[in-house]
Amino acid sequence: MALNPTEPKWSLRLPADCSIAAIRSVYDLVREAFGRQERLEIDCSSVDKADVTSIQLLLSTAKTGEAQGRPVVLTSFSQSLRNTLRRAGFASDSLIDQHFPQKKDGI
Partner 1 sequence: MSAMDPAEVFRQEASELFEVLEGALLDLGQCPDDRELVDSAFRALHTIKGSGAMFGFDKVASFTHEFETAFDRVRKGEIKPTQELISVALAAKDYIRALIEDPQSTDDIIGEAILDDLKRFVSADKPAAPVVEAPLLSPPESKQAGWHLYLEFDSHILRNGSNPLDLLEDLCKLGPCFVVPVTDGIPFLDEMEPEDCYLKWDVKLHAACTKDAIDDVFMFVQDEMKLTLSPLQRVEALAPVPLFQLSEEEPVIAEMAAPVVEAVAEQPVARAKPQSEAKPETKPEIKREAAPARREDGKQERGIATVRVQAERLDELMDRVGELVIAQARLTQLAASGSDLSIKMIAEEIERLASSLRDTTMGARMVPIGSLFGRFRRLVHDLSRDLSKPVEFVTSGEDTELDKTMIECLADPLVHLIRNAIDHGIEDTATRAANGKTDQGRIELAAVHSGAQVLVTVKDNGGGLNTARIRAKAEEQGLIAAGAVLTDHEIHQFLFHPGFSTAQTISALSGRGVGMDVVKRTIENMRGSIDLSTRPGQGTTVTLRLPLTLAIIEGLLIRVGEGRYIIPLSAVEECVELTAEDERSRGRNFLNVRGNLVPFLRLRELMAASGAPDQHQKTIIISTGETRVGLVADQIIGNHQTVIKSLSKLHSDVTIFSGATILGDGTAALILDVAQLVSLAQSKFEKQHINEAA
Q: How far is the CB of 60 from partner 1 (least distance, A)?
A: 5
How far does CA 47 lie from the centroid of its chain? 10
Under the rule (CB under 8 A), what is the footprint of partner 1?
19-21, 23-24, 26-27, 30-31, 34, 51-53, 55-57, 59-61, 63-64, 67, 83-84, 86-95, 99
Of residues 52, 44, 95, the one with CA closest to residue 74: 44
DSSP 16: S
Q: How far is the CB of 53 from partner 1 (least distance, A)?
A: 6
Q: How far is the CB of 6 from partner 1 (least distance, A)?
A: 25
- C-alpha 10/C-alpha 19 separation (Å) is 23
